[in-house]
Structures are given as C-alpha cells and as structure tokens.
Amino acid sequence: MLLLSAFVVALAGLSSAKPLSSKRWNDVSLKHRWVEIPRGWEFHSTPPEDHLLEMRIGLKQDRLEELISSLYEVSDPAHEKYGQHLSKEEVDALVAPHPDSIEAVEAWLEHHGINPADAHFRSAGGEWITIHVSVAQAERMLDTKYGVYYHAASGSSVVRTMGYSLPTELHSHIDVITPTTYFGTFHSMRSTSFIQPRPNSLVDDSASFAAEISPLAVPASCGTTVTPACLRALYNTTSYVPKATATNKLGIAGYLQEFANDADLQTFFRTFRTDAVGATFTHVQVNGGQNTQSDPGVEANLDIQYTEGISFPTPNVYYSTGGSPPFLKDTFTTTNTNEPYLDWLNFILNQTTIPQTFTTSYGDDEQTVPQDYAISVCNLFAQLGARGSSIMFSSGDEGVGGGDCLTNDGTNRKIFQPAFPASCPFVTTVGGTTRVNPEVAVSFSGGGFSRYFAQPSYQTASVAPFLTALGTKFAGLFNASGRAYPDVAAAGNGFQVVIGGRTSSVGGTSASSPTVAGVISLLNDFRISEGKAPLGFLNPLIYSTAKSGFTDILSGSNPGCGQAGFTAAAGWDPVTGLGTPDFLRLQALVA
C-alpha cells in the first residue's frame, strides 16, 4: 500500500486552506452523465444529507497495458510464456496506481476533510479505495445531486446520481467512482435462467436417471430432458475421472440472494448421479452474502447441481455475494453500493489461492452500464485471467436484445442490445443450444457485438467470414467492429434441477455456462495432473489451436428487438460461437 510521506501529508493539509488549493480542486469537468433516467427506474425522492454512502474510487492502473500484454502472453499457446501465469503479487504490482495518482487523490480527499489513512478498504494493488461519506459530502466532492430511484420490476431502491464531475486534474488519475451513475443492483440485474414446463417424461421424482449413456448414442430424450448423464455423454466426459482434486477447484459466483441448497444437492445426486452421493461443496459468503438453507434458489441450485454433476469429485465453491443493508426510504444507515461485480471481484482478487475455473450467470444490457464502470470491471476479469483462472459467463436469454431495444442516449433508436459482462473481451461467453443429433441453437441464446469493447485480435480471423457472409443485413443495428460473442455454447434447455425437494425443468444460458465450466474444469484437472499449468484465460487458445475441439452448430437463430436475429452457420457465429465442447478432442489438443 502506497501512502504519502508525513511531510507531503502535512504540506497537503497546509495547502488545503489556501486559495491556490481551492482553485486546484474547483476546476471541475464532467466525468459521466445519463441523458435520461435508465429505463425501468424512476426518481422517488431526495435522500437525507446525512445518509451514508460507501464510496469506491477506482484509480488508474499505472501498468495496465503491461498487465493486458502479460495476460495475452500467458494465454497464447504459440507464445513462449504460455501457461506462466502471474502470482497475486505480480498482478498487484502491475495494477498499482502511479505515485502521482495516489498523491493527487489523497490531496483531494484531504481537501474535503477526509484522512486517506482512514480508508475503509484498499485493494492489495492500491487501485481501489473505499471510504464512507455522507450524501452531502459526496455531492460536494462530485459536484452533483443524489436522488433515491425506484425500480418497479424488482422493487429495489438505490441512491444514485444522473451525472457527476471531478476536478479536471483528477480525470487522468481516476477511472471511475461509485455509487454514481451505475443503477444496476442485485435485484435489477438479470439471472439468465427460467423455469420451464415440466417434460411429460419426468413423472416420478424418485425414478433414477443416473445411468450412464453411451456417447455414441445420445437418446433423443436428452434434447428435452437434460441430466448430467446426457451432458457427460454429449460432451464426452463420461470416461474421465478427475485426479487433481487436491489442487483443482471450480467456483460459482452467486448473487440476487440466491442460495445453493445442500439437501437438494443430495436429492439431485441420488436421482441423477448416484456415485456422488455424500459429496458436498464449500459455501463462501462475500460482503454480507447469506446461506439461507430454507430458501433454495433456482439459479443457485442449477449452477451447483450441474457443475458438481459434471466435475465430481472436483471441489466446488459457491460464493454468495450480498449487499447489505438494502436502501429503505425510512431507514438511513450505512448502505453498500449494491454493485455485485465489484464486491465479488475485489474479494476474489484479494485471495492468495483462487479456483482455476469460474462460472457466472448474471448480466445487464451493456448500454445500462456506464462505460467507465464496464471497462473497470472488465479489467478486473483480466486480472483473474492473468492469475490462471478460466472465467465463463452466460450470454443472456434475449437473443439479440429484449424489450423495445431503444437506445438510452436520447435518440430512441432501435438497435441490437449487447449484454455485459458477456461483452467483456477477457471472459469466455457461453451461448445456448437445444436438441441432440444434432444440436441446434436455442432461440433465446444471447449474442452479438459490443458497443463498448473493440474486437480483440484473437477472434478477428474467426469472426470475419461470418461478417462477410452477412453482408449488409442488419446494417446499423450492430457494431461490426465490436467484441463478438458468444465464444462457445452448450445445452441450455430442459435441465432437470431439484428445488425444494422437487424436480423442475429449467432453461437458459445459465445452464449452458456451468456446463462448459464443468468441462473446462475437467481439462484443468487433466493438465494439473500431468504437471502442467491450468488453462487460464481461454479465448486465445480456443480461437486458435483448440478450435477443432468444438462441434460446430449449423442451424438455429436468436431473434430479438423485433428482428429475426443472427443465424447459426459454419464456423463462428453470434448465436453459438465456435460451437459446443468435445472433451476428448480438447483433452488431446491441450495435452
């Protein structure tokens, strides 16, 4: 942790009372502002001036370009540094802010009567500082006005601002400040799963569906009634037995007060994977996250039952990320920002040892996330990848976009709506399929092109043929030069999930992401057991030497925004990416 010397602190304290110092901090310019209140939200009231906020300040990382360069080096199978992942200490050193940034930010805090040494939290690299400030103080610091905004669909309220400014000098030192213009919360962000009508074939929960299925003859029933046996056969993992269980781990990031239920997992094992009965997983509670076993979550149970169902006996870790207390109009106490990605990422990156594989099944429309916030979060995923973790995200369940698909920049244009964090170039995004023999794209599979992130070089050669074949179709509705997603796909329809002791059918790319994560975790197990490094950030590998390890999906589309959407085709496409994983082929390719 970098701090100013006592001399500099004292000097800053003296100068804060001088007109020169005031001029330094009074020259402000806009950092970010919404043209209109984000859709779904409405202004409710003015918060009390003494309502406390947990303000996070994201400082610019002095050697970020070097971190990204290192990420690509250790993730590119053609590079001599492939697999030489960075340690926590090496990553922390690369993301540390420049001393000038620390001096400027700490001097600014002192100007507002805040002692930097009293910061509530500092990340290990020093690039994130958390302080507690009142609404009145935050308004003075950011030259803004806060309001209480209400989200009717989720029933949640937040204290946010429509825009904020910073002293001009600080724009070169600060990436983002929260809570400000990001309105996403635990309740308003979307889980990418949903309950489906129950297949007629499942008439008795006590019936056993645990029998192994030959990969040479995956029954048609697996196209509508998906079990671990179906997936293990479909993606060729049935014969693989994990060996590196003392080292290899699989992590699931949970939000929305979703709790993975221990009893339901055992019922699931007794029904669908009898050799795993008795196996457990680790509960980790982050930032007030809970573990309410009396309230099993559809999303949480789906995730843990299928990561375990594929990766057993690999140790699984479920992270319950909370935000407490919620904002109530008649209760004004210290409130968390309710910005889940930051809470979870800062926690994970502060750990010395982390799982080699992660899956997450939540997201927002990209345009609802301020770009500076999205970039800051995406760069945190780059840190995870540099440390050797493979990160899967579901691509979303609204095809090329849900709702009216109108822009929120005041022009009200209808365009395709990419999802975030699915659009981050440092994660592996997973679309959905359905049926078997062959698999086809499922209609809700999220996919498209980012408007925030440029198309990374690792995928250009794979994406170009699709764009060439598409021609002028959908011209103006998407950004052809943006990061293209999904990267891969897996089944996402008819998953049999035990919830409260009963089996329900669940669909969504929330099912696809943990499925791919389970397969990748087995590949990591194989490499670790062979004395090799885990795969880490997957995309440079899967778009190059491992491309042939995926089964191309050739039909189906992802309609949305009142349009037919993109169509699956030979090679990469923005519905199913490169296709679905074949473990045995991939195992040979990563050996």
pLDDT, position 442: 98
CB contact set of 527 (below 8 Å; sequence gap of 6+): 533, 534, 535, 590
CB contact set of 293 (below 8 Å; sequence gap of 6+): 259, 261, 262, 263
Beta bridge partners of 391: 358
- Count of CB atoms situated within 10 Å of the CB of 550: 21
C-alpha angle 10/11/12, rounded to 5°? 90
Q: What is the pLDDT of residues 485-499, one digit of tens each?
A: 999 999 999 999 999
The catalytically annotated residue of 320, 361, 510, 557 is 510
Classify 44 as helix, strand or coil: strand
Task: List, as one string, the DSSP characters of 267-305.
Answer: HHHHHH-GGGTT---EEEEETT----TTSB-HHHHHHHH
Q: How far apart are CA 265 and CA 281, in angstroms?
A: 9
The catalytically annotated residue of 62, 110, 127, 303 is 303
Position 133: which residue type? Answer: V
Q: How far apart are CA 150 and CA 186, in angstroms?
A: 13
State the DSSP code for 20: H
Q: Are 469 and 497 in contact (CB under 8 A)?
A: no
- HEC states along 478-529? CCCCEEEECCEEEECCCEEEEECCEEEEEECHHHHHHHHHHHHHHHHHHHHH
The question of whether 582 is a catalytic residue gets the answer no
Q: How far apart are CA 17 and CA 107, in angstroms?
A: 12
Q: Are 32 and 180 in contact (CB under 8 A)?
A: yes
Q: Identify which of 485, 478, 474 has the alpha carbon closest to the alpha carbon of residue 420.
A: 485
CB contact set of 11 (below 8 Å; sequence gap of 6+): none
The question of whether 80 is a catalytic residue gets the answer no
The catalytically annotated residue of 103, 175, 258, 299 is 299
Any idea where the domains of the chain sit in the sequence? Answer: 6-62+97-178, 228-590
147 is in an annotated binding site: no
pLDDT, position 158: 86
CB contact set of 589 (below 8 Å; sequence gap of 6+): 545, 546, 548, 549
Q: Identify which of 140, 151, 145, 135 has the alpha carbon closest to the alpha carbon of residue 44.
A: 151
177 is in an annotated binding site: no
Classify 162 as helix, strand or coil: coil
Classify 153 as helix, strand or coil: coil
Q: What is the pLDDT of residues 218-244, one digit of tens each?
A: 999 999 999 999 999 999 999 999 999
pLDDT, position 157: 83
Token pair in block for residue 278: 């008795």
CA dihedral 126, 127, 130, 135 (to 10 degrees): 150
Q: How far apart are CA 370 and CA 478, in angstroms?
A: 19
Q: What is this structure's pTM?
A: 0.92
Classify 380 as helix, strand or coil: helix
The question of whether 75 is a catalytic residue gets the answer no
Query: Mean pLDDT, consecutive 10-residue segments, the chain of 591 residues?
Result: 37 42 88 94 93 94 98 98 98 98 97 94 94 96 95 84 98 96 65 63 47 78 96 97 98 85 98 97 89 90 97 96 50 48 90 97 89 95 98 96 92 95 97 97 98 98 98 98 98 97 95 98 98 98 98 98 97 98 98 95
Q: Identify which of 297, 318, 307 has the alpha carbon closest to the alpha carbon of residue 498.
A: 297
571 is in an annotated binding site: yes
528 is in an annotated binding site: no
Structurally, at CATH architecture level, domain 228-590 sits in 3-Layer(aba) Sandwich (3.40)
